[in-house]
Amino acid sequence: MLTLSAMVGALLMSRAVADPELSDQLLQTVAARLKRAPLKA
């Protein structure tokens, strides 16, 4: 659930900002953090 929430939030935030560089940074940061997040079963 956390992964889905983070991805949707990043997408919404990246589309809400007018700066393309900031938009890319938001998406890249969330993607990098999710790749490092431990999976809990």
This prediction's pTM:
0.80
**Nearby residues of 41 by Cβ (< 8 Å), 6 or more positions away:** none
Q: Is 40:6 a contact under the CB 8 Å cutoff?
A: no
Identify the DSSP state of 28.
H
Task: Please give the chain's pLDDT, 41 residues, in tens.
Answer: 889 999 999 999 999 999 999 999 999 999 999 998 776 66
pLDDT single digits (tens) 25-36: 999 999 999 998
Backbone φ and ψ for 10, nearest 5 degrees, come out as -65, -40
Q: Name the residue ranges covered by the structural domains of the chain.
A: 2-36
Structure tokens at 14: 């990246």
